[in-house]
Amino acid sequence: MIWVNGVSQASIAPMDRGLAYGDGLFATMRSSECGILFFEQHQARLTAGAARLGFDWQMSSALAEQLNTLAAQNPHHCIKLMITRGVGGRGYAPPEQVNVTEIVSVHPIPAHYAAWQQQGIRLKTSAVQLGHQPLLAGIKHLNRLEQVLIKSQPLPQGFDDWLVLDCTGQVIESSMANIFFVKGHRVITPSLARCGVAGVMREQVMLALLAQQMNIDCLPFGAERLVEFDSVFITNSILGVVDVLAIDSHSFKPSPLTADLRHTLSLSL
Protein backbone atom coordinates (compact mmCIF):
# COMPACT_ATOMS: atom_id res chain seq x y z
CA MET A 1 0.00 0.00 0.00
CA ILE A 2 2.17 2.79 -1.38
CA TRP A 3 1.31 6.09 -3.03
CA VAL A 4 3.71 8.53 -4.68
CA ASN A 5 2.29 12.04 -5.09
CA GLY A 6 -1.18 10.59 -4.60
CA VAL A 7 -0.83 7.86 -7.25
CA SER A 8 -1.10 4.26 -6.04
CA GLN A 9 1.94 2.04 -6.69
CA ALA A 10 3.66 4.78 -8.69
CA SER A 11 7.42 4.75 -9.10
CA ILE A 12 9.99 7.17 -7.70
CA ALA A 13 12.16 8.95 -10.26
CA PRO A 14 15.77 7.65 -10.29
CA MET A 15 17.03 11.24 -9.93
CA ASP A 16 14.90 11.99 -6.88
CA ARG A 17 17.11 13.66 -4.28
CA GLY A 18 15.62 11.55 -1.52
CA LEU A 19 17.10 8.50 -3.23
CA ALA A 20 20.31 10.16 -4.37
CA TYR A 21 21.23 12.05 -1.18
CA GLY A 22 18.67 11.32 1.51
CA ASP A 23 17.47 14.88 0.92
CA GLY A 24 14.18 14.79 2.77
CA LEU A 25 12.28 13.86 5.91
CA PHE A 26 9.80 11.31 7.16
CA ALA A 27 7.22 10.70 9.85
CA THR A 28 5.82 7.45 11.19
CA MET A 29 2.31 8.02 12.52
CA ARG A 30 -0.09 5.76 14.38
CA SER A 31 -3.67 5.47 13.24
CA SER A 32 -6.72 4.89 15.40
CA GLU A 33 -10.49 4.88 15.00
CA CYS A 34 -10.33 8.64 15.66
CA GLY A 35 -7.71 9.37 12.99
CA ILE A 36 -3.94 9.85 13.23
CA LEU A 37 -2.62 10.40 16.73
CA PHE A 38 -1.04 13.85 17.13
CA PHE A 39 -1.55 14.61 13.44
CA GLU A 40 -1.05 18.38 13.77
CA GLN A 41 2.23 17.86 15.63
CA HIS A 42 3.53 15.53 12.93
CA GLN A 43 2.63 18.10 10.27
CA ALA A 44 4.35 20.87 12.19
CA ARG A 45 7.52 18.85 12.68
CA LEU A 46 7.73 17.98 8.97
CA THR A 47 7.18 21.60 7.97
CA ALA A 48 9.84 22.80 10.40
CA GLY A 49 12.26 20.09 9.25
CA ALA A 50 11.81 21.02 5.60
CA ALA A 51 12.53 24.65 6.46
CA ARG A 52 15.74 23.62 8.20
CA LEU A 53 16.77 21.72 5.06
CA GLY A 54 16.03 24.82 3.01
CA PHE A 55 12.81 24.12 1.14
CA ASP A 56 9.20 25.11 1.70
CA TRP A 57 6.56 22.46 2.37
CA GLN A 58 3.09 22.64 3.80
CA MET A 59 0.73 19.67 3.88
CA SER A 60 -1.98 20.12 1.25
CA SER A 61 -5.62 19.52 2.03
CA ALA A 62 -5.60 16.64 -0.48
CA LEU A 63 -2.73 14.89 1.31
CA ALA A 64 -4.31 15.46 4.72
CA GLU A 65 -7.58 13.99 3.44
CA GLN A 66 -5.75 10.98 2.02
CA LEU A 67 -3.94 10.32 5.31
CA ASN A 68 -7.12 10.65 7.37
CA THR A 69 -8.98 8.33 5.00
CA LEU A 70 -6.20 5.75 5.27
CA ALA A 71 -6.30 6.05 9.06
CA ALA A 72 -10.05 5.40 9.10
CA GLN A 73 -9.63 2.41 6.77
CA ASN A 74 -6.61 1.05 8.66
CA PRO A 75 -6.91 1.74 12.40
CA HIS A 76 -4.06 0.53 14.60
CA HIS A 77 -1.53 0.70 11.78
CA CYS A 78 1.62 2.67 11.05
CA ILE A 79 1.21 5.30 8.35
CA LYS A 80 4.52 6.54 7.01
CA LEU A 81 4.94 9.81 5.12
CA MET A 82 8.20 10.67 3.37
CA ILE A 83 8.82 14.01 1.70
CA THR A 84 11.85 14.69 -0.48
CA ARG A 85 13.14 17.77 -2.27
CA GLY A 86 12.10 16.02 -5.49
CA VAL A 87 13.98 15.46 -8.71
CA GLY A 88 17.29 17.25 -9.20
CA GLY A 89 20.30 16.96 -11.43
CA ARG A 90 23.63 15.33 -10.64
CA GLY A 91 25.49 17.12 -7.84
CA TYR A 92 24.77 18.12 -4.30
CA ALA A 93 23.56 21.67 -5.00
CA PRO A 94 19.76 21.76 -4.64
CA PRO A 95 17.67 22.85 -7.63
CA GLU A 96 16.26 26.38 -7.65
CA GLN A 97 12.79 25.05 -8.41
CA VAL A 98 11.62 22.47 -5.87
CA ASN A 99 8.83 20.01 -6.68
CA VAL A 100 8.45 18.00 -3.50
CA THR A 101 7.87 14.26 -3.73
CA GLU A 102 5.37 12.85 -1.20
CA ILE A 103 5.40 9.12 -0.49
CA VAL A 104 2.72 7.50 1.68
CA SER A 105 2.71 3.89 2.86
CA VAL A 106 0.69 1.81 5.35
CA HIS A 107 2.21 -0.90 7.54
CA PRO A 108 1.06 -3.16 10.39
CA ILE A 109 2.29 -2.29 13.86
CA PRO A 110 4.87 -4.92 14.90
CA ALA A 111 3.08 -7.54 17.00
CA HIS A 112 5.74 -7.57 19.72
CA TYR A 113 5.16 -3.91 20.60
CA ALA A 114 2.09 -4.85 22.69
CA ALA A 115 4.21 -7.37 24.63
CA TRP A 116 6.88 -4.72 25.12
CA GLN A 117 4.29 -2.39 26.66
CA GLN A 118 3.13 -5.10 29.04
CA GLN A 119 6.48 -6.65 29.94
CA GLY A 120 9.17 -4.02 29.34
CA ILE A 121 12.44 -4.43 27.45
CA ARG A 122 16.21 -4.62 27.97
CA LEU A 123 18.78 -2.44 26.20
CA LYS A 124 22.38 -3.13 25.29
CA THR A 125 24.78 -0.26 24.66
CA SER A 126 25.74 -0.13 20.98
CA ALA A 127 29.36 0.13 19.88
CA VAL A 128 28.17 2.36 17.02
CA GLN A 129 28.06 5.97 18.19
CA LEU A 130 26.33 8.99 16.67
CA GLY A 131 28.34 11.82 15.15
CA HIS A 132 27.59 15.48 15.81
CA GLN A 133 25.80 17.68 13.30
CA PRO A 134 23.81 20.44 15.04
CA LEU A 135 22.27 21.59 11.73
CA LEU A 136 20.48 18.24 11.45
CA ALA A 137 20.04 17.39 15.13
CA GLY A 138 16.47 16.70 16.17
CA ILE A 139 14.87 16.38 12.74
CA LYS A 140 13.85 13.01 11.27
CA HIS A 141 15.75 13.29 8.00
CA LEU A 142 16.20 10.50 5.49
CA ASN A 143 19.93 10.04 6.18
CA ARG A 144 19.66 7.16 8.65
CA LEU A 145 22.83 5.21 7.87
CA GLU A 146 23.98 5.41 11.48
CA GLN A 147 20.81 3.62 12.55
CA VAL A 148 21.30 1.06 9.76
CA LEU A 149 24.77 0.31 11.12
CA ILE A 150 23.41 0.07 14.68
CA LYS A 151 20.62 -2.30 13.65
CA SER A 152 23.00 -4.39 11.53
CA GLN A 153 24.70 -5.69 14.68
CA PRO A 154 23.07 -8.79 16.24
CA LEU A 155 21.69 -8.17 19.71
CA PRO A 156 22.99 -10.44 22.47
CA GLN A 157 20.47 -12.94 23.78
CA GLY A 158 18.09 -11.42 26.31
CA PHE A 159 18.22 -7.88 24.89
CA ASP A 160 15.56 -6.19 22.77
CA ASP A 161 17.12 -2.98 21.43
CA TRP A 162 20.24 -0.83 21.53
CA LEU A 163 21.07 2.13 23.74
CA VAL A 164 22.88 4.68 21.56
CA LEU A 165 25.55 7.13 22.71
CA ASP A 166 27.17 9.97 20.79
CA CYS A 167 30.86 10.17 19.90
CA THR A 168 31.65 11.73 23.29
CA GLY A 169 29.89 9.01 25.31
CA GLN A 170 26.72 11.01 26.05
CA VAL A 171 23.43 9.12 26.20
CA ILE A 172 21.16 10.05 23.26
CA GLU A 173 18.36 7.54 22.52
CA SER A 174 17.59 3.93 21.71
CA SER A 175 18.03 2.80 18.11
CA MET A 176 14.42 3.77 17.34
CA ALA A 177 13.02 5.73 20.29
CA ASN A 178 13.62 8.58 22.68
CA ILE A 179 14.53 7.74 26.25
CA PHE A 180 13.61 9.10 29.68
CA PHE A 181 15.24 8.53 33.08
CA VAL A 182 13.37 8.81 36.39
CA LYS A 183 14.67 9.57 39.88
CA GLY A 184 11.92 10.26 42.40
CA HIS A 185 9.84 13.16 41.05
CA ARG A 186 12.54 14.21 38.59
CA VAL A 187 12.63 13.10 34.94
CA ILE A 188 15.61 13.61 32.64
CA THR A 189 15.71 13.14 28.88
CA PRO A 190 18.94 13.61 26.92
CA SER A 191 19.73 16.85 25.12
CA LEU A 192 19.46 16.46 21.35
CA ALA A 193 21.30 19.65 20.47
CA ARG A 194 24.05 17.88 18.53
CA CYS A 195 22.46 14.65 17.27
CA GLY A 196 19.45 12.37 17.68
CA VAL A 197 15.77 12.60 16.73
CA ALA A 198 13.32 14.73 18.72
CA GLY A 199 10.21 12.61 18.36
CA VAL A 200 6.62 13.82 18.44
CA MET A 201 5.90 11.37 21.26
CA ARG A 202 8.85 12.73 23.25
CA GLU A 203 7.23 16.17 23.14
CA GLN A 204 3.80 14.84 24.12
CA VAL A 205 5.22 12.88 27.04
CA MET A 206 7.10 15.94 28.29
CA LEU A 207 3.92 18.02 28.15
CA ALA A 208 1.95 15.32 29.96
CA LEU A 209 4.58 15.08 32.70
CA LEU A 210 4.64 18.85 33.12
CA ALA A 211 0.86 18.77 33.53
CA GLN A 212 1.42 16.31 36.41
CA GLN A 213 3.81 18.79 38.09
CA MET A 214 6.83 16.57 37.41
CA ASN A 215 10.28 18.18 37.24
CA ILE A 216 11.74 17.63 33.78
CA ASP A 217 15.25 18.38 32.60
CA CYS A 218 16.61 18.10 29.08
CA LEU A 219 20.37 17.92 29.41
CA PRO A 220 23.48 16.01 28.32
CA PHE A 221 24.78 13.26 30.58
CA GLY A 222 27.21 10.40 30.25
CA ALA A 223 26.55 6.68 30.39
CA GLU A 224 28.34 6.49 33.75
CA ARG A 225 25.28 8.19 35.33
CA LEU A 226 22.86 5.40 34.44
CA VAL A 227 23.29 3.88 37.91
CA GLU A 228 21.76 7.00 39.47
CA PHE A 229 18.22 6.37 38.19
CA ASP A 230 15.33 4.29 39.53
CA SER A 231 13.40 3.82 36.29
CA VAL A 232 13.83 4.24 32.54
CA PHE A 233 11.35 4.23 29.66
CA ILE A 234 11.41 4.78 25.90
CA THR A 235 8.88 6.50 23.63
CA ASN A 236 7.97 6.76 19.99
CA SER A 237 4.80 7.37 18.01
CA ILE A 238 4.18 3.71 17.20
CA LEU A 239 5.15 1.75 20.32
CA GLY A 240 3.99 4.49 22.70
CA VAL A 241 5.64 4.26 26.13
CA VAL A 242 7.64 1.19 27.20
CA ASP A 243 9.53 0.47 30.43
CA VAL A 244 13.24 -0.38 30.24
CA LEU A 245 14.01 -3.11 32.76
CA ALA A 246 17.77 -3.16 32.22
CA ILE A 247 20.60 -1.42 30.40
CA ASP A 248 23.59 -3.73 30.05
CA SER A 249 24.02 -5.26 33.55
CA HIS A 250 22.15 -2.54 35.46
CA SER A 251 18.50 -3.20 36.35
CA PHE A 252 15.63 -0.73 36.75
CA LYS A 253 12.17 -1.04 38.22
CA PRO A 254 9.10 -0.22 36.11
CA SER A 255 7.91 3.33 36.59
CA PRO A 256 4.33 4.08 37.70
CA LEU A 257 4.47 6.92 35.18
CA THR A 258 4.38 4.64 32.14
CA ALA A 259 0.94 3.10 32.60
CA ASP A 260 -0.46 6.52 33.44
CA LEU A 261 1.08 8.05 30.30
CA ARG A 262 -0.31 5.28 28.11
CA HIS A 263 -3.76 5.93 29.55
CA THR A 264 -3.55 9.74 29.40
CA LEU A 265 -2.25 9.81 25.81
CA SER A 266 -4.32 6.80 24.56
CA LEU A 267 -1.22 4.78 23.66
CA SER A 268 -2.12 1.27 24.81
CA LEU A 269 -1.76 -1.45 22.16
Name the nearest CA neighbour of 88 among 101, 75, 77: 101
- CA–CA gap between residue 51 and residue 140 (Å, rounded): 13
Kindly provide the b/e burial profile for residues 56-78, where b requires at least 16 CB atoms within 10 angstroms of the residue's own CB: ebebeeebeebbeebbeeeeebb
Catalytic residue among 84, 102, 173, 189: 173
Strand 101-108 vs strand 77-84: parallel, antiparallel, or unpaired? antiparallel
Active-site residue 140, yes or no? Answer: yes
Let me know if 80 is a catalytic residue: no
Task: Select which of 101, 124, 140, 235 is catalytic.
Answer: 140
Separation CA 97–CA 92 (nearest Å): 14
Alpha carbon distance 161, 8 (integer Å): 34
Ramachandran region of residue 220, left (φ > 0), alpha (ψ -120 to 50) or beta?
A: beta
Please confirm, yes or no, whether 28 is among the known catalytic residues: yes
Q: Which residues contact 112 (CB under 8 A, 6 or more apart)?
A: none
State the catalytic residues: 28, 140, 173
